[in-house]
Chain A
């Protein structure tokens, strides 16, 4: 079945440590996204990529980095510069048709906590 796989489901970070969240899709979608969700808050965009080897900052990119070396994969690294990384992270993808009805397909998320 086609879909988006995020791993791990739970992740713990120590002080000063970088951690990487994995996102893989087999939907053949061109665009991929990373959102952050805090309790009682909506989703906020961290980074997005419309094509391989290209990505754009979202609203809260500071302290995060991404790469897009393959169409299927869009890993997110939470660096030590991100001082409040505890949150639920959702990866999404879309066809990137350019239409306003472009809907996002989401993974099941990764909960990141600080030790």
Chain B
């Protein structure tokens, strides 16, 4: 069965420092997509970054980058130069095998708190 594991329930980081949020996944599918979403206290889920299983380069989007290690089945999110507005829940997700490709499986999330 497909599964996403986020082992860090909460993380603290000092403003302007970098932080890594961990995500490991389990799938027998050869073709899959990995996503990171941010959920501020307002509740809305905001797409951050995507990595395809066949992508040779790690994905980057501004201050966000994805450290993709396929053999280890990990897809860690790196946030550089943390800002106070980065305080939120962060969810790792994977495209589900078969069916609608927008049908994602989510991890339990990591709560990031940025300290001034």
Distance in Å: Cβ of B27 to nearest Cβ of chain A: 11
Q: Does B68 contact A (CB under 8 A)?
A: no
Q: Name B's interface SS.
A: loop
The answer to whether A31 and B44 touch (CB under 8 A), given A100-B53, A100-B95, A101-B33, is: no
21 A–B contacts, CB within 8 A, in A order = A33-B103, A40-B9, A41-B108, A42-B91, A42-B106, A42-B108, A45-B104, A48-B102, A58-B103, A92-B102, A97-B101, A98-B101, A100-B32, A100-B101, A101-B33, A102-B33, A103-B50, A104-B45, A106-B37, A106-B45, A108-B43
> With an 8 A cutoff between CB atoms, is B31 at the interface?
yes
CB of A43 closer than 8 Å to a CB of B: yes
Question: Which chain B residues border A31 with CB–CB below 8 Å?
Answer: 100, 102
The interface size of chain A toward B, counting residues with CB under 8 Å, comes to 33
A41-B108, A94-B102 known; A103 vs B43 contact (CB < 8 Å): no
Q: Tally of A-B residue pairs with Cβ under 8 A?
A: 79
Q: How far is the CA of A101 from the CA of B53 in the complex (A)?
A: 10
A residues neighboring B (CB under 8 Å)? 31, 33, 35, 40-45, 48, 50, 56, 58, 88, 90, 92, 94-109, 111
Contact of A42 among B46, B52, B102, B107 (CB under 8 A): B107
Q: Which residue of B lies closest to A99 (CB)?
A: B101
Q: A42-B108, A43-B91 are in contact. Are A96 and B31 (CB under 8 A)?
A: no
